[in-house]
Chains A and B, each alone.
Chain A
Amino acid sequence: MPIPPEGGHAMASTDVSDPRYYHKVVDCQWACPAHTNVPGYLRLIALGRYDDSYLLNRESNVFPGILGRTCDRPCEPACRRGRVDEKPVAICRLKRVAADQRGDITDRLPKAPAVKNGKRVALVGAGPSSLTVANDLLPLGYDVTIFERNARPGGLMRINIPAFRLPAQVLDEECGYIIDMGAHMRYGTPVESLKALLADGYDAVYVGSGAPKGKELDLPGRWDAPAQVHIGIEWLANVHFGHVERIAPRVLIIGVGNTAMDCCRTAKRVGATDVKVIARRGRKHFKASPWELEDAEEEQVEIVENHAPKRFIVENGTLVGMEFERLEWSEGAGGRQTSTVLGTTVIPCDAVILAIGQDNAFPWIERDIGITFDAKWDMPIVDKVTHQSTRAGVFFGGDAAWGPENIIWAVAHGHAAAISIHQHCQGLPVDERPPVGMTLTSAKMGMHAWAYDNDYDTAGRAKMQHAELAARFAHVGVEVELGFTAEQTATEVQRCLNCDIQTHFTAPLCIECDACVDVCPTNCLTITTNSTPLDELRTRLSAPALNHAQDLYVSDALPQTRRIMVKDEDVCLHCGLCAERCPTAAWDMRVFDLKQPYAGTALAGALG
């Protein structure tokens, strides 16, 4: 129990029994929408236990092989290593190592029971979010039917992500793990009426149909040479299906998100020689992931900044170029960016690909079946936690719920929606959620031996090896990234700071000898009086943090002086020196394991 503060301004002690406290310390796991146990699986890779690492990954993110190549990596900018060293741990690439090096794990995958539970669930679309729902519900005995417009599963992962980034075999394997549990696949079957689907008597319906409509750019000349102007995601799909095999030499890509990156690099592989990506704003505002930009530029794609499209130039029915306004941006009051037009420029081209975003499209959802749509955006109203629409039993997730996001978000949505569907089918309220849990076990193995390697490795971030430029363009399917070598892997896993091995403090044991404060390499610890609110307390620490996103741990009053132990979590290296120097084991290193709930996890009261 936290001891109540003594004075009016004093702070209450931190309640570390709430899983959120230690979870937040693990920056990568906190930033990941699916809350993957990153340090845990990196340690398994370090031990060469690739199968275990893959399966630990799969628990939360379902598609380690796919995400190890395509994830937007919200974990990496969050990684603590980036705050104490130049660059974060190459988490995503290591995930791929676990996937690439694994053996046959099929006998360790979840299995559907022989006897079903009698509930039927329909999933619309066979993309990442629907497949996650199926992954969570099939082992519980659900009868799952997936409707997919294309002939194969994967959704945008298959038709929009080019094969040079994600080989089909990787995709087939990981989709197969789920489908082979016994999902009924209705390929080539787009759902044309939700009303009709509901009439089939499913116990629940999940809409995971993505945001399949590329945005249009309706400028003068747009429709004068329609064969030369393409919508990005449609064009990528056409390349995937083999409907498009060539493109003219000079191509302009409008937009600078990740779809634009896939378009420009694909164009280079189907005949384009001069590819320019046109951006309205400066580089720091680009939506594309920095590493994708880097890869595109390595392939001699030119990025043109601060150009706004004005019109398509069509002569005698042939597109010959586009006119742009050259912009200069300045920051106005309130940080708002305003642009000034400096002049216009014509860039000649033979084709234009529009990659300026995606919209949702629900022409197949009737508006009189109890599903309320938002008047402004014409999007269904969906609960942020339960994923349920205004009609009980109809759930949305992935890009279909709130517009385009990344694959890892779709997976997180799938897990959350599966919980709701399970609740709904049991006749329980969907907003009653199984609790987030944790286990905390001492990592102490001996006098100065821990259940993890606590030494700090000074190595810099490993660089991904790429296929030779010349070899890359032979075929759309030549994978560019070759994966880490065994040596790179061995070094890179050691860069992880093991933020999940928590510094756990027991105030009554402390004799205030200062040993921990003295030895901490990054000055995280302070013993001080508990007399001021948080903001002032921060200024009294041994080394005030630059990043306030991480919390302060505040102990109960210490036995000898009633002062408090304060730990700033910001740049703790989890090296364990505080615990090694502690004469009374008031500090201990404890392995934190987040127990993320999934469909089928017991509710809070269920265990009595």
Chain B
Amino acid sequence: MTSIAKPPVKHPSSRTNALGLTLRDYEGAMSTLCAGCGHDSVTAALVQAAWELALEPHRAAKMSGIGCSSKTTAYFMKQSHGFNSVHGRMPSVTSGAAAANRGLTYIGISGDGDSLSIGLGQLSHAIRRNVNMLYVLENNGVYGLTKGQFSASADIGSTSKKGEANEQAPIDPVLLALTLGATFVARSFSGDKRQLVPILKAGIAHRGFALVDVISPCVSFNDHEGSTKSYAYTREHEVEAVHADFVPLQREITVPATDEVLRVVELHDGAQVRLRATAKDYDPTDRESAYAHVRACQSRHEIATGLLFVDEDGKDMHDHLRTVPTPLVDLPYEQLCPGKAAMEKLMERYR
């Protein structure tokens, strides 16, 4: 929350992207979240990622549900489409929108409450369908809007602001996504944009469902000693498995010579994600070892971050449904709704 809007003044050296837009052009309304909220940093990372990708604002749709996290969509890309859905129902609304118009870029923003409690079923099925979207889960382990009750992602032993420890086992969205067959699974931290921005860019470019679980501390109700989702705890326990560098198709690839082993994953549009394993022998294309790594980190009270798993060969929702390449919204009416005769002919096949 701030008392004034951000002054409309640009830095004298501010640059423009391929569309001629500056970073400031990707901003949205002023945030009314608490000062220091991790979600505002995620917003800044999204602004940065969208600007760097030269995403056309009018060709993007920002989708959200309910909660502090779901306010995020108001704070970036003010010229884009948006849908603020019922609590936990963002995945199905996005599935519908993506079915109707496959031409847009879908950016879904949710939180641990919206995704792992009321919306867990919705999330699971969006992963199964492999809806082509970026799904950012701003994860702070508490219900901030209702003053800090434990959420479904709170770790065992993590304490509330009043000192009470959580005793129920957490749902880890990363493990959930790996189990359900997600084709892009990453975890990052709102306080580490160097890691987060390339992951968001890769997630947007990925064809299929890209889950990015972002530890995004709640400064008001979960940033105390004893919390396992505070700024300090996350910094101390974060272990980056794989660092991703996003290389768009258009740009000449100039990477400084290095002894490190780089694994290059080509994305659907020809862009590349260059993965640099920082944990020994880590293979980000092997679902089993990704799962094992996250579990092992968990048992050591470490937080596995980075682009943990990516599979660019998976089929997305449109592949499964064998829909036409043209977005349904662009199909001529006669084709979309071919009339009674065509309907009867179809029905005949089921008699």
Contact = CB atoms under 8 A, between A and B. Distances in A.
Contact of A561 (B11, B13, B40, B235): B235
Nearest to A520: B6
A456 B8 contact: yes
Contacts of B2: 448, 519, 577, 580-581
A584 interface: yes
Given A456-B9, A560-B232, A513 B4 contact: no
A297 interface: no
A573 interface: yes
B interface: dominant SS: loop
A458 B10 CA distance: 12
Contact of B37 (A450, A512, A515, A575): A515
Nearest to B43: A518
B44 interface: yes
A119 interface: no
A105 B1 CA distance: 43
A544 B7 CA distance: 19
B35 A581 contact: yes
A130 B232 CA distance: 62
Given A85-B9, A522-B9, A584-B36, A560 B4 contact: no
B40 A580 contact: no
A228 interface: no
A518 B12 CA distance: 18
B41 interface: yes
B9 A511 contact: no
Q: Give the interface centre of B43, B44, B231 by most chain A CB atoms within 10 Å.
A: B231
A571 B9 CA distance: 10
B6 A521 contact: yes
Contact-residue bracket for chain A: 35 or more
Nearest to A453: B4
Given A543-B13, A545-B13, A573-B9, A518 B44 contact: yes
Given A512-B191, A513-B41, A561-B235, A523 B11 contact: yes
Interface in A154-210: none
Contacts, number: 107
A445 to B, nearest CB: 11
Interface string B34-72: 111110110110000000000000000000000000000
A449 interface: yes
Interface in A420-472: 448-450, 454-456, 458
A543 B11 contact: yes
Contacts of B4: 454-456, 575, 577, 580
Nearest to B4: A455
A581 B12 contact: no
A561 B192 CA distance: 12
A573 B7 CA distance: 8
Contact of A582 (B1, B36, B44): B36
A366 interface: no
A582 B13 CA distance: 26
A561 B193 CA distance: 15
A515 B43 contact: no
A149 to B, nearest CB: 50
Contacts of B188: none
Contacts of A213: none
A524 to B, nearest CB: 8
Contacts of A575: 4, 6-7
A521 B2 CA distance: 13
A515 B2 CA distance: 12
15 contacts: A85-B9, A511-B231, A513-B37, A513-B190, A515-B40, A515-B41, A543-B13, A543-B14, A560-B231, A573-B9, A575-B4, A577-B6, A580-B4, A583-B34, A583-B35
Report the 3 A-B pairs with minimum CB-CB distance, sorted nearest first: A583-B36, A456-B7, A448-B3
